Amino acid sequence: MQALAPQPRNEKAAARVARSSRHREGRVCPARPAGRSRCNEQGSRGAAPADGRATDPAGADRLAAAAAPLRLPAGPTTFAETIPSVISTQPLVKGYLIAARGLDLAGAIDLDDEAPITASQAAFAIGSAMRAAIAARLPDGPGLPECIGVSVYFTAEGLAVAVTTAAFQMITPNWFNRRNLSHRLKQQIYSVAVDALKSVQPLGASHDLVEHISMMNFGGETDDEAARQYLEDSGHDPDELPLLPSDYKKAMPSWGRVLKKPDVSALPDHLRRAARSLMRATRRFDARNPDWASYEHDELCSFDAAYEEMASEPPIWFFPCVPDLTNALDEIMNYAMQMGINNICSFARLNSPEDVKQWLDAFSEASKLLVQAQKFMDLCDNEYGAKAG
């Protein structure tokens, strides 16, 4: 199996790629300049059904072209549905073929070149084009966007992509500490930002923290009596019990509860417009990409075994910073970092050229939403964070 990192657009993006590549197996292809790549697949701009029947009048010609042999040092081969797992000295497996046809549909690669090409040259050209297509869609901006990376897996069974973020991040805007900023305004800002970020990244908010504390300290119990019984059964002295679930809930400021439908009408005009725009973008993204953050863990591990034993805690946390809660997070994340933190934002298996194009579109939308969310939080920090009180 081979994993491929995208071509970065700049030094920051290069660092992102380096961070996201630590769990990938196999060789990482060398970087190539972004742009349109050409490889010799005598194929079509539309995909044929699995049974090989054409879907339009030109389909027969396309299928005939798809079976045209390539001229390889080790003998001729084809881009037909069934191909050897290894041709020439480098694998050109099914994943490469799906990627090539998908990139063709997305207009990121040209498959019309009839020049002879070897399997290794074709694989390199396809990989370079996939890298360039991803690099062109990476979120561009400081903060959370610059932590995004993508791993691409080419296998004999197909193609898969994993969007990753940094291993551990804590979002602590300056306005968190504004004592004279109303709880209502804080809650509206917090709710809008959490909703947007959770759509794109694995984010732990205030309610998630309480759940993880219960799992870590009380065996999943959220009721004080059940938690007390769990602690006593675990050998704790009944007279010297640590904080109980209700203590953590009381420590959470009231504005730390996420609202399902925040009312941003009380925000200043520029923040109100930005909040409403972000809320619309979040709803639009969720409607178009309902499965962005849904994936089977076992399937991810079949492509990258490094994720098998990793902790389930999210890598990004965003909640009111009060001592009891941050101390609890320290304990949770110390354990998680020993296990390894699952930094997956999204994982998808791409089984067809159409899947490749749809994923590229979804990744582009996710990048834009993340940049927009970061800009909204920066606006709020500029408005409220620098003021005293």
Determine, yes or no, domain membership for 207. Answer: yes
Query: What integer pLDDT is reported at residue 194 of this predicted model?
Result: 96
pLDDT band of residue 26 (cuts 50, 70, 90) is: very low
| 225 and 90 in a common domain | no
Cα 379 to its chain centre, rounded Å, is 24
Say what the pLDDT of residue 128 is.
86
If asked whether residues 63 and 173 sit together in one domain, one would say: no
Does the pLDDT at position 67 exceed 70? no
CA angle 9, 12, 13 (to 5 degrees): 45
If one counts the domains in the chain, the total is 2
Answer yes or no: is pLDDT of 155 > 90: no
* Mean predicted confidence (pLDDT) in 68-86: 33
pLDDT of 265 over the 90 cut: yes
pLDDT (tens digit per residue) in 169-213? 899 898 888 888 899 999 999 999 999 999 999 999 998 998 899
What is the sign of the dihedral through the CA atoms of 134, 1, 103 and 370? negative
Asked whether residue 351 is domain-assigned, the answer is no
| 176 and 93 part of one domain | no
Q: What is the pLDDT of residue 166?
A: 85
- Residue 229 falls inside a structural domain: yes
pLDDT for residue 57 is more than 80: no
**Whether residue 115 sits in one domain with residue 223:** no
> Could you report the per-residue pLDDT of 233-258, keeping only the tens digit for each?
998 888 888 889 899 999 999 899 99
CA distance 37 to 44: 16
Same domain, 186 and 317: yes
Last residue of a domain, one of 102, 133, 161: 161
251 and 371 assigned to the same domain: yes
Question: Residue 75 CB: number of other CB atoms within 10 A?
Answer: 10
How many residues are listed for the chain in this entry? Answer: 389
Q: What is the mean pLDDT of residues 286-293?
A: 95
Across 30-39, average pLDDT: 29
Do residue 135 and residue 183 come from a single domain? no
More confidently predicted of 307 and 116: 307
In a domain, 221, yes or no: yes
135, 10 Cβ separation under 8 angstroms: no
Higher pLDDT, 107 or 188: 188
Establish if 128 belongs to a structural domain. Answer: yes
- Residues spanned by the domain of 124: 2-161
Q: Which of 115, 135, 161 is the last residue of a domain?
A: 161
Predicted pLDDT of residue 180: 81
Average pLDDT for 253-282 = 94
23 and 97 together in one domain: yes
Strand partners, 348: 161
